[in-house]
């Protein structure tokens, strides 16, 4: 299923509203690269946030099959950033997010972590605090495919 920019923008605005309604504007964002990068960038602009941290979580190979998880670049979150939103595009099995949250909560016991995604699989073992919809099938995100199209 192709997921377009216009659908993404509508969904991200809905996600933003849900987050603001429940926790207000976070102090910082932890972006799970690469899937959460576009979302984190746009939310940080909307909230005028400069505190955008990034970590790498790699669990898919080139055949879209989940395999062993590699987490790198756990960020150094500043003391003044207490309310942290962890952003990714989708929760599939929930394994990655579960381990990422464990690592962040262990490293920063005094901070509050919230999670936000566009797509949440109902079979995942972990659910985001904020999500918009369930994915009907494999999703081809515009940021993954549009730059790779011929003559783009």
- Mean pLDDT throughout 43-66? 82
What is the C-alpha R_g of the chain? 15
pTM for the model: 0.89
Closest Cα partner for 18 from 43, 41, 36?
43
Domain chopping of the chain, boundaries: 2-143
**Over 60: is that where the pLDDT of 60 sits?**
no
Q: What is the pLDDT of residue 134?
A: 95
pLDDT digit string, tens, across residues 4-51: 999 999 999 999 999 999 999 999 999 999 889 999 999 999 999 999
SS3 31: strand
Element (H, E) at 52: strand 52-60
- The residues that bridge with 56 in the sheet, in sequence order, are 33, 72
pLDDT digit string, tens, across residues 96-142: 899 999 999 999 999 999 999 999 999 999 999 999 999 989 999 98
**Over 80: is that where the pLDDT of 149 sits?**
no
Q: How far apart are CA 104 and CA 20, in angstroms?
A: 22
Give 62's Cβ-side CA count (13 Å radius).
Answer: 0
pLDDT digit string, tens, across residues 83-93: 999 999 999 99
Q: How far apart are CA 78 and CA 5, in angstroms?
A: 32
The CATH code of the domain at 2-143 is: 3.40.50.2020
């Amino acid at each position: 299923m192709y997921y377009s920019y216009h659908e993404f923008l509508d969904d991200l605005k809905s996600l933003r509203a849900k987050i603001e309604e429940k926790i207000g504007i976070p102090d910082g964002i932890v972006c799970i690269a690469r899937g959460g990068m576009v979302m984190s960038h746009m939310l940080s602009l909307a909230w005028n946030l400069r505190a955008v941290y990034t970590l790498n979580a790699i669990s898919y190979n080139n055949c879209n099959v989940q395999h062993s998880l590699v987490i790198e670049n756990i960020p150094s979150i500043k003391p003044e950033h207490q309310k942290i939103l962890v952003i990714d595009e989708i929760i599939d099995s929930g394994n990655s997010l579960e381990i990422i949250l464990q690592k962040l909560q262990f490293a920063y016991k005094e901070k509050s972590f919230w999670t936000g995604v566009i797509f949440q699989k109902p079979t995942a073992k972990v659910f985001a605090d904020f999500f918009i919809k369930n994915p009907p099938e494999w999703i081809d995100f515009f940021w993954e495919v549009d730059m790779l199209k011929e003559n783009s």
